[in-house]
Amino acid sequence: MGIRNEAVVTEELVKVYEGGVRALDGVSLRVGRGEVFALLGPNGAGKTTLVEILLTLRRPTSGRAYVLGEDVSDPRSRSTVRSRVGAVLQESDSFELLTVRETLELYASLYGADRRRVDELLELFGLSGYAKRLYGKLSGGLKRRVLVATALINSPELVFLDEPTTGLDPAMRREVWEVLRRMREEGVTVFLTTHYMEEAEELADRVGFIVGGRLVAVGSPRELAERYGGSKVVRVSGLDRRAAEEVARALGDVRSEGDGLVYTASDQRDANRAVQTVLSIAPDAVITVSNPGLEEVFLKLTGYRITEEGEVA
């Protein structure tokens, strides 16, 4: 079977919490080695539940899950899994009163890793200049970088990052992305959760959409866009209010995005027709035609969009 060769395999995974919440409702998933996989979904979709089951922190109610070929429900494989993976848990934090170096050294001792690995990671994540700073005194972005570095101390084959950039401002988020790209260059398999479409688009080889404990679609961003996104997206901006109303009426199915309008065309021809319609109403309009992104895919699949805060709208 392929279980041994995959980084993560789940089969009909179900998790029902004590209160009766069905957090996972039959999730079957495969993540290959060396892949960056992003699990995308709104708040409460079941992302953390899935990650924590894979990390052996929670037991599934039914179904199976394998990490690096090990069955996570088997108590004997627990320590094997734990020693071969790394993780940044959701909303996790570190000891405020340890310095950055001491933090990494702590994890190095716990894993029996070489001290040279500490210097290597400080270097890799641009933390060398902060090695002597207390963790508690760092900015949010630097803290996340330290957390990601601790997840790599044991040179894991697979790293779980549960919402690694939530709560960060866009600049800090990009900083962390930079770090994650470097990780990818190291050849580590990354299992990432997020509710930012852009983050998955930027980083992931493959994306899985999860809603209400169910995996609704899996594939590379491109595949998904081709399959579900409609073929072209027409974005129009620079319209005054009257022109905007007129364009909306003429095109029919549009949605607003920021101060502009977005029309999802069924093919190139339809896109061209839409561009002509817009120009005939407002010759000064700024128009871009692009391939659809994950946002359109998600919208098409669920009828919802995910807000900045991770809520469905």
The reply on whether position 90 binds Mg ion by CB under 5 A is yes
Q: Determine the 3-state secondary structure of 263 from DSSP.
A: strand
Can residue 83 be called a binding residue for other proteins (CB under 8 A)?
yes
Q: Provide, rounded to whole angstroms, the least separation between the CB of residue 87 and other proteins.
A: 6
Task: Verify binding: residue 58, other proteins, rule CB under 8 A.
Answer: yes
Residue 310 beta carbon to ligand ATP: minimum distance, rounded to whole angstroms? 5
Please spell the DSSP secondary structure of 86-155, one letter per residue. Answer: EEE-TT----TTSBHHHHHHHHHHHHT--HHHHHHHHHHTT-GGGTTSBGGGS-HHHHHHHHHHHHTTT-
Structure tokens at 209: 């959409």
Q: Which stretch binds Mg ion (CB under 5 A): 86-94, 167-175, 184-192, 230-238?
A: 86-94
What's CA 40's distance to the chain center, in Å?
A: 5
Answer yes or no whether residue 231 interacts with Mg ion by CB under 5 A.
Answer: no
50 binds other proteins (CB under 8 A): no
**Measuring CA to CA, how many Å separate 157 from each of 4, 78, 87, 256, 275?**
13, 15, 11, 43, 48
Binding of other proteins by 19 (CB under 8 A): no
**72 vs 310: CA distance, rounded Å:** 29
Q: Scan residues 62-81 and list those touching other proteins (CB under 8 A).
A: 79
The Cα 88–Cα 118 span in angstroms is 17
* 72, 85, 192, 239: residue in contact with other proteins (rule CB under 8 A): 85
- Max intra-chain CA distance, the chain: 69
CB of 207 to ligand ATP, least distance (A): 15
**# binding residues, Mg ion (CB under 5 A):** 3
Binding site for other proteins (CB under 8 A): 17-18, 55-59, 79, 82-83, 85, 87, 89-95, 97-98, 102, 106-107, 109-112, 134
Binding site for Mg ion (CB under 5 A): 47-48, 90
